[in-house]
Amino acid sequence: MRFKHIRRHTQITILRFLQRIDLPEDFYMLFLAGLIGIFAGLGAYVLNLLIDFFRYVFFDKIYSLSSFTITSYILLALFPAIGGLIVGLVIHLFSRESRGHGVPSVIESIANRAGYIRPRVTMITSFTASATIGTGGSAGKEGPIVQIGAAIGSTVGQLFNVSAERLKVLLGAGAGAGLAAVFNAPVTGVLFALEVLLADFSINAFTPIIFATVISTTISHYLIGSSPVLYVPIYFLESVYEYPLYILMGIVGGIMAVLFTRMLYATDDLFNKYPGIPDYIKPAIGGLLVGIIAIFFPEVYGFDDQAIHNALLERTAVWVLLLLTVLKMVATSLSLGSGGSGGLFIPSLFVGATFGAFFGSVMNILFPQITASPGAYALVGMGIMVAGTTHATLSALMLIFEVTSNYQIILPLMLGTIIATITSRLIMRENIYTMKIALSGEYIFKGRNMTLLQSIPIRKHIQKQFDRISENSSFHAILQMLRKSDHATFPVMTPDDKLAGLISLNNIRSYMFEEDLYPLLIAKDIMQEEFITVHPGQSLADVLRLFDLTDAELLPVTEKSRNRNLIGVIYRDELMRWYRKAPLLESKKAY
């Protein structure tokens, strides 16, 4: 109680200070975003330190004592298993949200809990992800830092008691800021938060996320460095005849992305089929299998990006590229499907680079006169695999540009990523993040729990009292209605009270400056006669999809068999205001 009083007092003090110095009201959100950016930048730094610590202890200290005997091979297999055991115990005892690749739990918290994440997730995910990656587990930093940053954003929002809508934005700001700091990719961080997590490109979401990523990336530059994650030569499009080859690679890459996603969740399902094995042991089993692979192909270790560099620099044999592509997908599925903690960006970049270099090498053999070097295909392949797995074309494009600082091959990269996204979406509706939620029986779309909304009929959201216009109303009467009403769309009714059409501001805009026509016009002349209606038996999911499709402000609710018998209307704004609170009011899940 004392803590809540202090928190509320701090919030009021800050608000009064901002009011006193006469700053815009949006500055409050920027202030909170700045705090989140600071903590997210520090969180990225701590995550790097912890990964380096685990790697130093296991691979630099313990491994050096083995004197390269048979014991050294045993240790290479055991290190990921030990890391898996540590992770399994910590997750079992403290926080199940830290299991797996992190991003699905963030998306689920936005859809079902209005952005609420327990503060402890920050510390626990930092530790479990570091233990997984630092001991050799095949995973990346993206999932953990998104979850860590999201937890930071959610915690700051909870401390300052912001609304549910603002809490989601702050969560996105933390996630984007963390991703930007780890990859030195601020634009990718912003796009990932908006495109993958929030599915919201409004200015209210855009501004705080940009501010948080600027702050976190600045801190990361100071503490970690500002160099690109990958150093690559400058590649160019060799010939316009390469475009069909990049289209083909996009199609094949999209199929591979689907296979990677299904392999990951098939492995997860396989480990879940054995309830007799304690959950905290499963990550150790997965880690042991990864370690066995790593004895022969140490490139699959999560902290090792040398294989990506080798693919980009064309230093790997063709058959090894294909083998590494398959083994990396297997190793990542084992590490994360068994319950380890880590992300999927780096594994996707790895798989994309080796697949792309293999594809480019084959094309070089078949069409030596018109194709660029395999390194160019490796670069495009990284974007293809990230786009195919995440269905986030913009984020994938920008990630490749920012981690390589190579903008010369932009057209093939744009073409390949778009084709890969389309291909993977045609085969599988879910991406690698939302698939986890879908397998639990829920469908998340644009940050909405569509499964929950599908179960809720629209009856209680129908407005029975609303402004309406007679089809014989004069143009002056319509303008008067627009001036007085809070809405800009109205049903047009016949004299016998049947629905004749709709009139909106868009319908009358072209007549507003033709004052000579005012006396001649009535509602019937300018109304929209073709329109979409809904009936009371439909669900909120159906209505929200129709609002997205039509961009309408209002949908008439009519009898199912008689679409001219008007029952009421549903307003988009009022429904969305309700929906922002829905995860807290309607969710059937206990947190």
Q: What is the CATH number of the domain that holds 323?
A: 1.10.3080.10
Return the number of other C-beta atoms located less than 10 Å from residue 477's C-beta. 14
Taking a C-beta distance cutoff of 8 angstroms, is the pair 425, 507 a contact?
A: no
Picking from 188, 223, 258, the residue at the C-terminal end of a domain is 223
Picking from 403, 418, 449, the residue at the C-terminal end of a domain is 449
Q: Could you identify the residue written with the tokens 């004749």? A: 500
Q: Which pairs count as long-range contacts for 258-261, CB under 8 Å and 24+ apart, including other chains?
A: 258/388, 258/424, 258/427, 258/428, 259/329, 260/329, 260/332, 260/333, 260/348, 260/351, 260/385, 260/389, 260/432, 261/389, 261/428, 261/430, 261/431, 261/432, 261/435
Q: Are residues 308 and 416 in the same domain?
A: yes
Return the number of other C-beta atoms located less than 10 Å from residue 381's C-beta. 35
Q: Are residues 19 and 123 in the same domain?
A: yes
The answer to whether residue 27 is domain-embedded is yes
Structure tokens at 21: 């110095």
CA-to-CA dists, residue 161 to 5, 32, 204, 540, angstroms:
11, 11, 18, 28
Q: What is the DSSP pairing of strand 448-449 with strand 554-558?
A: unpaired
Taking a C-beta distance cutoff of 8 angstroms, is the pair 356, 389 a contact?
A: no
| pLDDT attached to residue 343 | 86
**C-alpha span between 291 and 178 (Å, rounded):** 29
Q: Are residues 13 and 156 in the same domain?
A: yes
The answer to whether residue 118 is domain-embedded is yes
Q: Are residues 125 and 245 in the same domain?
A: no
Structural domain total, the chain: 3
DSSP 225: -
The answer to whether residue 275 is domain-embedded is yes
What is the enclosing helix (H) or strand (E) of 503? strand 499-504
**C-alpha span between 236 and 505 (Å, rounded):** 50
The answer to whether residue 228 is domain-embedded is no
Taking a C-beta distance cutoff of 8 angstroms, is the pair 142, 178 a contact?
A: no
The answer to whether residue 306 is domain-embedded is yes
Return the number of other C-beta atoms located less than 10 Å from residue 465's C-beta. 6
**C-alpha span between 302 and 508 (Å, rounded):** 61
Q: Are residues 581 and 471 in the same domain?
A: yes
| pLDDT attached to residue 445 | 60
Closest CA to 493 of 468, 512, 527, 516: 468
Q: What is the pLDDT along the chain (591 residues), one digit of tens a residue?
A: 454 555 556 666 665 665 565 555 567 788 899 999 999 999 999 999 999 999 999 988 887 766 667 878 888 889 999 999 999 888 888 766 666 667 888 887 877 777 788 777 778 888 888 999 999 999 888 888 888 999 999 988 888 778 777 888 899 999 999 999 988 889 999 999 988 888 766 777 888 999 999 999 999 999 988 777 777 777 777 888 899 999 999 999 999 999 999 999 999 989 988 777 888 899 999 999 999 999 999 899 988 778 788 888 888 888 999 999 999 999 999 999 998 888 888 899 999 999 999 999 999 999 988 888 888 999 999 999 999 999 989 999 998 888 887 777 888 999 999 999 999 999 998 888 888 777 766 666 655 666 667 667 787 778 888 888 888 888 888 888 888 887 888 888 888 888 888 888 877 777 777 777 777 788 888 888 888 888 887 887 788 878 877 778 888 888 877 777 888 888 887 777 776 665 544 443 433
Q: Where in the sequence is the domain holding 161, given as residue range(s)?
A: 2-223
Task: Enter the pTM of the model.
Answer: 0.80
Q: Are residues 417 and 520 in the same domain?
A: no
Backbone torsions φ then ψ of 503, nearest 5 degrees:
-125, 130
Q: Are residues 47 and 71 in the same domain?
A: yes
**C-alpha span between 489 and 333 (Å, rounded):** 51
The answer to whether residue 591 is domain-embedded is no
Picking from 449, 478, 500, the residue at the C-terminal end of a domain is 449
| pLDDT attached to residue 98 | 62
Closest CA to 211 of 456, 326, 41: 41
The answer to whether residue 235 is domain-embedded is no
Instruction: Indicate which CATH number applies to the domain containing 546.
Output: 3.10.580.10
Q: Are residues 346 and 490 in the same domain?
A: no
Q: Which residues pair with 470 in a beta bridge?
A: 493
Please list, in sequence order, all residues whose beta carbon lies within 8 angstroms of the beta carbon of residue 374, skipping any fewer than 6 positions away. 311, 314, 356, 357, 358, 359, 360, 361, 364
Burial group, residue 427, by CB count within 10 angstroms (0-12, 13-18, 19+): middle
Q: Are residues 270 and 390 in the same domain?
A: yes
